[in-house]
Amino acid sequence: MSTAEGPVAKIIQEKLTATFQPKHLEVACESHLHNVPKGAEKHFRVQVVSDAFEGIRVIERHRLVNTCLSHELANGVHALRIDAIPTSKWTEGKQQDPSPTCKGGFGK
């Protein structure tokens, strides 16, 4: 997990906070695990716990997050792992699963 927060990570955090007023939020850049230049902010993992996700299907929860971050997704971020949990289903300390290993992608 990246400990330094880049500008894109900060924007993602702000947007998710403003849109979902989350009870719990984690934003992690994972580009260091992928086949991209150092310092790239192209792969993120987000865990959002919010009342906004109550009573809607998982695909709709993901679409809400995609819409919130549509600008970032259209401008550089090309992988986004989403864990969108309704508050009623949240267990304190529940970790998001680790991301799968990169298999090289487009770069060789």
Q: Taking CB under 8 A as the rule, does residue 19 contact another protein?
A: no
Residue 19 sits at the vertex; the CA angle it makes with 15 and 20, to the nearest 5 degrees, is 115
- DSSP collapsed to 3 states, 40-56: CCCEEEEEEEEHHHCCC
Q: Taking CB under 8 A as the rule, does residue 28 contact another protein?
A: no
CB nearer to another protein: give 44 or 52. Answer: 44
Give me the least distance between CB of 17 and another protein, in Å please: 20
Q: Taking CB under 8 A as the rule, does residue 11 contact another protein?
A: no
Residue 1: name the closest of 36, 46, 37 by CA.
46
User: Tokens 């902010």 appear where?
Assistant: 41
CB nearer to another protein: give 8 or 80. Answer: 80
Give me the least distance between CB of 31 and another protein, in Å please: 13
Q: Taking CB under 8 A as the rule, does residue 23 contact another protein?
A: no
Q: CA-to-CA distance for 61 and 86, rounded, in angstroms?
A: 9
Indicate the Cα dihedral angle 16, 82, 102, 71, nearest 10°: -40
Token representation of residue 69: 């971050």
Interface residue with another protein, options 37, 38, 74, 91 (CB under 8 A): 74
* Site residues (vs another protein, CB under 8 A): 58-59, 62-63, 66, 70-71, 73-75, 78-83, 97, 99-106
